Amino acid sequence: MAKKKIRFMCTAFRDGFQSVYGARVKTDDFLPAVEASKEAGINWFEAGGGARFQALYFYSNEDAFEMMDRFRETAGPDADLQTLARGVNVVGLESQPSDVIKAHADLFAKHGITTIRNFDALNDVNNLIYSGQCIADAGLKHQVVVSMMELPPGCSGAHDAAFYESTLRQILDADIPFDSVCFKDASGTSTPSKVYETIKAARKVLPDDVMLHFHTHETAGIGGLCYMSAIEAGADAIDLSMAPASGGTCQTDIVTMWHILRGTDYTLDVDIDKIITAEDVFRDCMKDYFLPPEATQVDPMIPFSPMPGGALTANTQMLRDNGLMDRYPEIIRAMSEVVRKGGFGTSVTPVSQFYFQQAFNNVMFGPWEKFADGYGKMVLGYFGKTPVAPDAEIVKLASEQMGLEPTKKTPLEINDADPSKGLAPARKVCEEEGFELTDENIFIVATCKDKGVSFLKGEARVGIRYKTDVEAEQVKKLVGDTGAGTGSGSVNVTVDGQVYTVNVDGASATLNGKSFNIGTGAAVPAAAGGAPAAPAGGTTEPVAAPMPGLIIRLAVEPGTVVQEGQTLVIMEAMKMEMEVKAHKAGTVASFAITAGDQVQQGQPLAQMTV
């Protein structure tokens, strides 16, 4: 009997990047691997969307639309290039109005994409109707999604095979146009038995000619088992990746899955030697990038969180940026309660980010003392209906803290009525800033806000972590701040479990033949218009950063008279914007920071005369 060919999409250049490198990868660096993959016979690629849209503007100082154009040019005209969309969020972390949702589909079609996988993290089918129609109207293939995960132990009421079948039937009843169906487990926590039951039921519900697709991660160590369960239940296609962006937080490797299927009635139908050659090219492309150790590990505690692979390293990279990586174990443990009380939305972006942000706040500020904007709005209903009702006490606390009433309006109703959202206000910003009024620029501002504006102004900063950067950080941390000292000697440094010998000579250190400046050098000059002496009758007091983060913008000018509680600075930590407010009424004497600066907790941001 002929073996059944299992189709696969190569996720290395979208989900792989997101799950290993926090989506922070330069286009020039990976295109040779796309070329090698094409030569190996791969013609179905995940080419963008998800976090790989915003991350190019936030961390790589690159244009996502240009990246898609170059991906198409490299992959060739016949390749199926697929991207990921988050229902009414499309490629933003916040939900969008109708005009942005339509522009997303139109622009991605314009820039070489052929298929969009479209999911809603709450499995609220209402959030898939308009977005799915826009994808179809743009002439693209629509792969509609049912989102999966395993609930923390002891929880029930959703996320079982019956729940997923019900969601699929709602999609069919809503007459959403689609070309294929994907069951997507971003956290890789669904049990193999549940995967089998779910795919088996879906195969009975769907017409025989509809492609049935399954997606998972290896984060919990069961990705290969779940893929085999899905295939045996009738799945036609799966997602696979390539080393070094495979296994661990990523998808199962193509070579690994080829091996799993040996001796079975199924085949990937690939030339495995050519695939191995392509992976060698990919490894060489990524050799200078820092590979976080957590990205290569199986974490047995993930089912208790559950933290998706695509969000795990994005969050650990941000924790490293802010000097908070030591708090990661506490945050992951805190996620379990956040999931239990939040209504069981699937742990996939943006909901996984809401979970992580709320767990972060619970660790940093105390349990439920500060609601993350996304989590609070989710439990209040602003992103749609959660699979089960959130904890009533949490809903009450969120409403009180945020000054918002629970709602049953759809996100589209809310966003279409919000004058601050959509293409019109984004166009106005472009006009005020003098940007070229292209559809792309307006969309970038609409979905990326201040960071999109910074990119278009040429002020974006690169936040990619290379091995040399991490080595330098390790050296400076372990050797200490020598200033202009003249000490010398050797010290052993451990990086990712490997011990290196560092030779120190005064303010420099040498590691593997590379020299790093570990001294402070000259004193850092004060910011322009540095703190003046307080005027007669007043005292000058500092305004400090409440936590580590990135300065987004200054809300007032030096010399401004402000009231107690007035916003002085907007900063961002863990993708959450927070306002730093005046602790007293007074006059802003000076700022010690500018937009784009990374600051530490307690660092003075401004001086106020009070």
pLDDT of residue 518: 54
| Cβ–Cβ under 8 Å, residues 504 and 479 | yes
The phi and psi torsions of 489 (rounded to 5 degrees) equal 150, -165
DSSP letter string, 490-547: EEEEEETTEEEEEEEETTEEEETTEEEE-S--SPPPPPTT--PPPPTT--EEEEE-SS
Listed in sequence order, the DSSP H helices in 384-498 are 392-402, 411-416, 423-433, 439-456, 467-479
Residue the block writes with tokens 């296994």: 247
pLDDT in tens, 225-239: 999 999 999 999 999
Q: In the structure, what pLDDT confidence band is assigned to residue 482 with cuts at 50, 70 and 90?
A: very low
Higher per-residue confidence, 107 vs 472: 107
Q: How confident is the prediction for the chain on average, in pLDDT? A: 89
pLDDT in tens, 410-425: 999 999 999 999 999 9
Residue 312, pLDDT above cutoff 50: yes
pLDDT in tens, 15-57: 999 999 989 999 999 999 999 999 999 999 999 999 999 999 9
CA distance 180 to 253: 23
Task: Report in angstroms the alpha-carbon separations of 564 from 32, 587, 605.
Answer: 55, 10, 16
* Residue-range domains of the chain with CATH: 4-295 (3.20.20.70), 540-609 (2.40.50.100)
What's the pTM value of the predicted model, to 2 decimals? Answer: 0.82
Q: Are strands 561-562 and 586-591 parallel, antiparallel or unpaired?
A: antiparallel
Sign of the dihedral defined by the CA atoms of residues 200, 202, 207, 209, in that order: negative
| Cβ–Cβ under 8 Å, residues 552 and 584 | no
Task: Please enumerate in sequence order all residues whose Cβ is within 8 A of that of 175, keeping only pairs 6 or more positions apart, or say none.
Answer: none
pLDDT of residue 421: 96
Q: Which of 101, 576, 128, 123 is nearest to 353 (CA)?
A: 576
CA distance 185 to 198: 12
